[in-house]
């Protein structure tokens, strides 16, 4: 059952990427401006924010006073 699940996830992922690529190619997406391109090149500051947010989220999840579990 695990083997079938892994195959299903892999096939689904490949199909989703292929369909998205095909639709994007057919539609002819416009070129992106500098703001969008700047957001696609993360910096070390972005990495720090992500790590801090993950740590805060993990702490909030396990702390009973915050999560309410």
pLDDT digits (tens, 9 = 90+) for 10-40: 999 999 999 999 998 898 877 777 877 777 8
Question: Does residue 48 sit in the same domain as residue 66?
Answer: yes
Query: What domain range includes position 64?
Result: 33-69
Q: Identify whether residues 22 and 37 lie together within a single domain.
A: no
37 with 68, same domain: the answer is yes
Let me know whether 37 and 69 are in one domain: yes
Tokens of 54: 């993950």
Q: Which residues does 60 contact at the CB level (< 8 Å), separation at least 6?
A: 66, 67
Let me know whether 14 and 40 are in one domain: no
22 & 54 share domain: no
The reply to whether the predicted model has a pTM over 0.85 is no
Residues 57 and 45 occupy one common structural domain: yes
**Structurally, how many domains does the chain consist of?**
2
Task: Grade residue 67 by pLDDT with cuts at 50, 70 and 90.
Answer: low
């Amino acid at each position: 059952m695990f083997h079938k699940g892994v195959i299903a996830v892999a096939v689904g992922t490949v199909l989703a990427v292929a369909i998205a690529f095909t639709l994007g190619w057919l539609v002819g997406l416009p070129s992106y401006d500098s703001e969008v391109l700047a957001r696609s090149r993360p910096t070390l500051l972005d990495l720090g924010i992500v790590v801090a947010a993950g740590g805060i989220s993990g702490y909030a999840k396990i702390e009973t006073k915050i999560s309410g579990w």
